[in-house]
Amino acid sequence: MMLSTSFTICICFLVSLSAIFSSTRSWIVDSGAPRHICSNANAFVSWKPLTHATVTLPNHTPISVSLFGDVKLSPLLILKDVLHVPKFRFNLISVSALTVASHLVVSFLHDSLIIQDLHNKTMIGRGNKVDDLYILDADSVTRSHGSCPVYPLISVNKVSAIV
């Protein structure tokens, strides 16, 4: 009985995701993913081929990685060392990989997310929360956000909070 319930939930989740991702320009912003993943080879601006490389899905299924490289979402947002996984239908931005490789911060709000440049004090992109996933549409990143200020961070009992 539990297997059937898990399977049903998984199917509903996939149907829900299919409706969200009508575009290859949509990216899931994932705080648990260790690497960026892109399903579209045409999105890469530079790449190197990989042989015999795989990633393992949460269901323990290995799938092939064909190359890795850089994906330019906008002049201000270039994802480095992105894995190209042709059989994976979704694009993932790893919050960890993004923030380690740059001077960007990702803020998750109740209904949206904001990617900000800490050096320039500007907003790089904004996404929306859809069915418990935070989605960044690459087309929204390419629009100029001008000098939208970074949300100030304060320390409250040794915990950072957005004010």
Kindly state the DSSP code that residue 90 receives in the 8-state scheme: S
> Where would I find the beta strands (DSSP E) of 31-132?
37-38, 44-56, 62-74, 77-84, 92-94, 104-108, 112-117, 122-130
Q: Summarize pLDDT for 110-156 with one digit per residue, the tens.
A: 999 999 998 888 899 999 999 889 999 888 785 545 555 555 543 34
DSSP letter assigned to residue 146: T
pLDDT digits (tens, 9 = 90+) for 2-36: 322 222 223 234 444 555 555 678 999 999 989 99
Q: How many CA atoms lie within 13 A of 53 on its CB side?
A: 12
